[in-house]
Chains A and B, each alone.
Chain A
Amino acid sequence: AQKVTQAQTEISVVEKEDVTLDCVYETRDTTYYLFWYKQPPSGELVFLIRRNSFDEQNEISGRYSWNFQKSTSSFNFTITASQVVDSAVYFCALSEVGTTDSWGKLQFGAGTQVVVTP
């Protein structure tokens, strides 16, 4: 079963517009972590944000903000005033402790391609 769903395959915006990326997750664990990663054309995975299941406080970090709602199992991510350099694939990921006693095993969504044009 799909644990992390990113329904948007591609979003195209003009520079300075805001972009909101949707992520819906599924888990039976009460303790888990959620992540957003950015993958630019060069291919590496760039960590953006992490949130644990006990902290639903939504925050802003620079041009990034996120909206974590346990009631709807959603962890949406917004880029404010987008720039061309934001063009990348963005992945939402879920980490459950499971059997390994480690948070390092991540389950990724399919990714959303963000295209920002000047």
Chain B
Amino acid sequence: EPEVTQTPSHQVTQMGQEVILRCVPISNHLYFYWYRQILGQKVEFLVSFYNNEISEKSEIFDDQFSVERPDGSNFTLKIRSTKLEDSAMYFCASSEGMEAFFGQGTRLTVV
């Protein structure tokens, strides 16, 4: 069964460093998403991406964040200068227009 794959599963980074979280969506899907879940809290929408551009973003998704689909298969989330409060589980999801399929998540720890 096709699935969304995220790498790495866990990343530790120092405050102020740039980090790139990677996702391989399901191959025939057209819509891509990033969600964030701070430990113990609910899952929050960050951004949606369609046709090589951001289609919607939340207020969390500020200038420190960017997304890219560099090669037609990967979908990345970059955080330019990480802060302690960026520590969270980040989920990638893809959709063909109907339901979203989630990856297993990347746990980002900023120290």
Q: Are B56 and A100 in contact (CB under 8 A)?
A: yes
Q: How large is the interface on B (under 10, 10 to 19, 20 to 34, 35 or more residues)?
A: 20 to 34
Q: Are B44 and A108 in contact (CB under 8 A)?
A: yes
User: Interface residues of A, CB < 8 Å — how many?
Assistant: 25
* Interface flag for B82 (CB, 8 Å): no
Q: Is the CB of B105 within 8 A of A45?
A: yes
Per DSSP, are chain A's interface residues mostly helix, strand or loop, or mixed?
A: loop
B33 and A109 contacting across the interface, CB-CB below 8 Å: no
Q: Which of A40-62 contact B (CB under 8 A)?
A: 43-45, 47, 50
Could you tell me if A35 and B31 are in contact, using CB atoms closer than 8 angstroms? no
Residues of chain A within 8 A (CB-CB) of B99 are: 33, 35, 47, 50, 95, 103-104
Q: Which residues of B contact A91 (CB under 8 A)?
A: 42-43
How far, in whole Å, are A106 and B36 apart by their CA atoms in the complex?
12
Binary per-residue interface labels of chain A (95-118) against chain B in the complex, 1 for a CB within 8 Å, 0 otherwise: 100111111111111110000000
In the A-B complex, the 3 residue pairs with the smallest Cβ-Cβ separation, listed nearest first, are A104-B95, A104-B100, A102-B31
Beyond the given pairs A45-B102, A50-B99, A103-B98, 12 more chain A to chain B contacts, judged by CB atoms under 8 angstroms and listed by A's residue number, are A43-B107, A95-B99, A98-B56, A102-B95, A104-B48, A104-B93, A104-B97, A105-B48, A106-B43, A108-B42, A110-B42, A111-B42
